DNA sequence: CAATTTGGTCTGGTGACAAGACTGAATTGC
DNA sequence: GCAATTCAGTCTTGTCACCAGACCAAATTG
């Protein structure tokens, strides 16, 4: 209780409202973005997002309950991984990022560029690979820092790792395999 | 003051965070969805969304300030229209709706289907017209109710108008042209 | 011109969030 | 093996946003 409440758009017979009940809360999208970048640990999310511990706990719990993430903890520290439903959110996140880049902070925040790993071509603003004509899923993408510099670069582990091109969805830290 | 605050993801040098500062607040996306459907009046949004008056006022003010909507009021009652930046949000809204339909309420909420007005073909989940191979903008789309019935159909003017296929972005009510 | 609708503003009560102290389990250092 | 540290949370307190509903002036309708 208290998890999915406060987000209820109860009277809306609408798929957008249903989606927003799951991913529309503050911070949720940013948590998921980090998951796509390979972040899996509570502490990494905490350090990268400047989010309150209680709220991060709440969001992770809700996302696990909604089957967007799975909590994996065999003995060691728990890790949070995207499920299929979670990975399917990539187009939404990409579309919002592109809009932010074009209309909110044009030019100021170079952000990151995404390329089709197979052919190295940079995606267009709809997420299409202009070379292949397809819309690659997140597992087929490489993220790299865009041109230009961040205004005030961060120093947390996640920010540092993202200064080099990375295959998306690959864990930021090596698995603590038994 | 008090408008854009509370949504600040200040430390995030990230386009997604920038986008969410503008459209990430509760209700904002649903307001915009209605704008795409042709809703332009305060009272229609109020009736269709079951939102508090104060919050609706706040959201509209913020969206106008962010240049996502324009407030047009020549004498008569004001109307809110999507700007170019606002229309550019369509891919984000479409992506979220599709995700909601597939992963949150599969089958339960038939929602609406979107077709390319030019050729009548229904869009795929990435917003592509399978016939033309393009990704039509919202001005080239027709919304129609999906198959199946809403659980508890609404009776407000907007819900009623949306029971028939409609060209998107066309005003719900005839303009009170001078 | 009276009644109603429209587009708001203004209250009060409730719930969400931020900041930070605190804790027990896991991990690391030696 | 044991101490120190890190990790993944929980708990508390204050602030802020949101909801429900009363209220109000301007526009519109009858």
Q: What is the mean pLDDT of residues A10-20?
A: 85
Residues from chain B contacting residue A152 (CB–CB below 8 Å)? 13
pLDDT attached to residue B111: 83
Judged against a pLDDT cut of 80, whether residue B7 lies above it is answered with no
pLDDT band at A86 (very low <50, low <70, confident <90, very high): very high
Residue A146 Rama label (left phi>0; alpha psi -120 to 50; beta): beta
Q: What is the mean pLDDT of residues B58-73?
A: 97
Judged by average pLDDT, the poorest of A59-63, A143-147, B83-87, B122-126 is: A143-147
What span, in angstroms and rounded, lies between the C-alpha atoms of B15 and B21? 10
Nucleotide with smallest C1' distance to residue A27 CA: C17
Judged against a pLDDT cut of 90, whether residue B176 lies above it is answered with no
What span, in angstroms and rounded, lies between the C-alpha atoms of A31 and A39? 9
Q: What is the mean pLDDT of residues B69-95?
A: 96
> pLDDT higher for A103 or A150?
A103
Q: Which helix (H) or strand (E) holds B147?
A: none
pLDDT attached to residue A6: 43
pLDDT attached to residue A38: 97
CB contact under 8 A, B18 and A105: yes
How high is the mean pLDDT of chain B? 90
Judged against a pLDDT cut of 90, whether residue B105 lies above it is answered with no
Judged against a pLDDT cut of 60, whether residue B2 lies above it is answered with no
CB contact under 8 A, A7 and B15: no
Q: Point out the residue among A88, A94, A127 whose CB comes nearest to the CB of B103.
A: A88
- Residue-wise pLDDT for A133-162, tens only, equals 999 999 999 999 988 766 677 889 999 999
Q: What is the DSSP string of chain A?
A: --SSTT---TT---HHHHHHHHH-STTHHHHHHHHHTT---HHHHHHHHT--HHHHHHHHHHHHHTTSEEEE-SSSS-EEEE-HHHHTTHHHHHHHHHHIIIIISTTT---EEEEETTT-PBP-TTS--TTT-S---GGGEEEEE-SS--SS---SHHHHHTTS-EETTS-SS-----
pLDDT band at B11 (very low <50, low <70, confident <90, very high): low
Report the 3 state secondary structure along B101-141.
HHHHCCCCCCCEEEEECCCCCECCCCCCCCCCCCCCCHHHE
Residues forming beta bridges with residue B69, ordered by sequence position: B82
Q: Point out the residue among B12, B16, B105 whose CB comes nearest to the CB of A15.
A: B105
pLDDT attached to residue B5: 33
> pLDDT higher for B134 or B8?
B134
Alpha helices in chain B (DSSP H): 15-23, 28-36, 42-49, 53-65, 84-87, 90-99, 157-161
Q: What is the mean pLDDT of residues A53-74?
A: 96
- Find and list the nucleotides of strand D having atoms within 7 Å of a protein beta carbon: 6-12, 16-22, 27-28
Which residues are CB-contacts of B141 (< 8 A; sequence separation ≥ 6)? B114, B115, B116, B117, B123, B167, B168
């Amino acid at each position: 209780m208290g998890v999915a409440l406060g987000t209820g758009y109860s009277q809306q017979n609408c798929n957008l409202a249903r989606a927003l009940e799951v991913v529309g809360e503050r911070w949720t999208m940013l948590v998921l973005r980090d998951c796509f970048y390979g972040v899996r640990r509570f502490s990494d999310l905490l350090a990268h997002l400047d989010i309150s511990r209680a709220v991060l706990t709440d969001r992770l719990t809700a996302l696990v309950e909604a089957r967007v993430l799975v909590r994996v903890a065999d003995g060691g520290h728990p890790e949070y991984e995207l499920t299929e439903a979670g990975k399917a959110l990539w187009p939404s996140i990409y579309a919002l990022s592109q809009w932010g880049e074009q209309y909110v902070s044009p030019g100021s925040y170079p952000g990151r560029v995404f390329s089709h790993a197979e052919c190295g071509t940079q995606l267009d603003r709809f997420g299409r690979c202009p070379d292949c004509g397809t819309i690659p899923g997140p597992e087929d993408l490489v993220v790299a820092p865009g041109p230009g510099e961040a205004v005030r670069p961060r120093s947390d582990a996640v920010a540092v790792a993202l200064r080099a091109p990375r295959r998306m969805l690959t864990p930021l830290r090596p698995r603590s395999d038994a």
